[in-house]
């Protein structure tokens, strides 16, 4: 049985066959529209994606909760969004509401963060790993005190060394509390994370960026991370200026879209506002997307 079910209070949930995936909102932010669309001229992208008076566009931070009905010792979160640790200036620049992030969203769904056994992040930029930690009683602590945190070793080493072109997108305050509980699990390339969930390296946005493949009995769903942040980034040349290796990202994107199209897989788009989960079909020499969000 596949396909989403939805009620007024529950977020979209997908039954992949022996495994369910629930979309959880890890917050939202605004980034410069020009930077989000790299080489693409504004008259093109702004036709379908309006910018505000500061040229920023609204982005979601989509996270996934993965559960296996009948299996109580495995409950996984993919991506943690921007988290709560922002001063007034950053809140203004990024239009971040520090009260709206993954932890309160999970509590709203009656999911205890202490029940999460595994967290996977696509890469360690602030809007993906910021929700790994928060401040409680004046002290920075892990949001998921009992979870292993899975990331590619390449990404982890680059993050800790500050390898990149953006200043301060890797934030130690999201990392050191995880060091303290020795929860990092570093992956070397293609690897199984837990039974039914695999890491698929998709370098380009960063060189250690990976996508996460969730295989159900009936269908697979892939969390693509910043490989393709919104449905507006489908086209080959639609890279972000933030991508460290744009040609590599384009190759990773084409390969993943082809893989999904070949098996009717679902793709989760990390920053997409309207259709966060899509299916992929071939079209001419590229692909087209169809919303799959419980319309
Ligand atoms: Zn991002």
pLDDT in tens, 178-210: 999 999 999 999 999 999 999 999 999 999 999
The backbone torsions φ and ψ at residue 191, rounded to the nearest 5 degrees and listed phi first, read -160, 155
Q: What separation in Å is there between the alpha carbon of 167 and the centre of ligand 1?
A: 14
Q: What separation in Å is there between the alpha carbon of 53 and the centre of ligand 1?
A: 22
Query: Tens of pLDDT along 243-253?
Result: 999 999 999 99
Q: Provide the pLDDT confidence category of residue 293 given band limits of 50, 70 and 90.
A: low
For residue 122, give the CATH number of its domain.
3.60.15.10
Stated as kind and residue range, the H or E segment containing 201 is strand 197-201
Rounded Cα gap, residues 206 and 195, in angstroms: 26
Query: Tens of pLDDT along 20-43?
Result: 999 999 999 999 999 999 999 999
Q: What separation in Å is there between the alpha carbon of 272 and the centre of ligand 1?
A: 10
Q: What separation in Å is there between the alpha carbon of 67 and the centre of ligand 1?
A: 24
Q: What separation in Å is there between the alpha carbon of 166 and the centre of ligand 1?
A: 12
Label the pairing between strands 56-67 and 20-32.
antiparallel
Q: What separation in Å is there between the alpha carbon of 23 and the centre of ligand 1?
A: 17
Q: Is 54 helix (H, G, I), strand (E, B) or coil?
A: coil
Q: What separation in Å is there between the alpha carbon of 60 and the centre of ligand 1?
A: 9
Q: What separation in Å is there between the alpha carbon of 128 and the centre of ligand 1?
A: 6
Q: What percent of the chain has pLDDT over 90?
A: 92
Q: What separation in Å is there between the alpha carbon of 216 and the centre of ligand 1?
A: 26
Q: Domain of residue 195: give its range.
A: 4-291
Q: Based on the structure, what is the number of domains in the chain?
A: 1
Q: What separation in Å is there between the alpha carbon of 131 and the centre of ligand 1?
A: 13
Lowest mean pLDDT among 8-12, 150-154, 277-281, 289-293: 8-12
How confident is the model at residue 1, as a pLDDT? 46
138 secondary structure, DSSP code = T
Q: What separation in Å is there between the alpha carbon of 146 and the centre of ligand 1?
A: 25
Sort 184 into a burial class: Cβ within 10 Å, 0-12 / 13-18 / 19+: middle
Q: What separation in Å is there between the alpha carbon of 71 and the centre of ligand 1?
A: 31
**Structure-token match 């509390």, residue found:** 177
Q: What percent of the chain has pLDDT over 70?
A: 96
> In this structure, what token pair is assigned to residue 141?
């602590």
Of 121, 190, 180, nearest to 149 by C-alpha is 121
Examine the pLDDT at 267 and tell me if it is beyond 50: yes
How confident is the model at residue 294, as a pLDDT? 43
How confident is the model at residue 295, as a pLDDT? 32
């Amino acid at each position: 049985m596949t396909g989403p079910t939805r009620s007024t209070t529950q977020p979209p949930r997908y039954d992949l066959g022996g495994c369910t995936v629930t979309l959880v909102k890890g917050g939202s932010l605004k980034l410069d529209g020009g930077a989000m669309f790299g080489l693409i001229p504004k008259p093109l992208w702004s036709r379908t994606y309006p910018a505000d008076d500061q040229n920023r566009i609204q982005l979601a931070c989509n996270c996934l909760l993965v559960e296996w009905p009948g299996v109580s010792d495995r409950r996984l979160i993919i991506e943690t969004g921007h988290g709560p640790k922002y001063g007034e200036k950053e809140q203004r620049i990024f239009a971040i509401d520090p009260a709206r992030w993954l932890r309160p969203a999970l509590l709203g769904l009656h999911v205890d963060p202490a029940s999460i056994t595994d967290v996977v992040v696509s890469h360690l930029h602030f809007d993906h790993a910021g929700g790994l930690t928060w401040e409680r009683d004046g002290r920075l602590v892990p949001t998921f005190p009992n979870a292993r945190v899975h990331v590619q070793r390449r990404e982890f080493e680059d993050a800790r060394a500050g390898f990149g072109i953006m200043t301060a997108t890797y934030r130690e305050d999201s990392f050191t509390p995880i060091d303290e509980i020795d929860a990092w699990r570093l992956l070397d390339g293609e690897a199984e994370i837990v039974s039914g969930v695999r890491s698929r390296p998709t370098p380009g946005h960063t060189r250690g960026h990976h996508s996460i493949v969730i295989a159900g009995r009936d269908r697979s769903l892939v969390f693509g991370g910043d490989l393709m942040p919104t449905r507006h980034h489908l086209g080959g040349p639609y890279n972000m200026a933030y991508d460290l290796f744009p040609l590599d990202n384009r190759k990773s994107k084409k390969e993943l879209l082809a893989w999904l199209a070949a098996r009717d897989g679902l793709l989760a788009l990390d920053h997409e506002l309207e259709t966060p989960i899509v299916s992929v079909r071939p079209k001419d020499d590229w692909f087209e997307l169809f919303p799959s969000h419980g319309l």
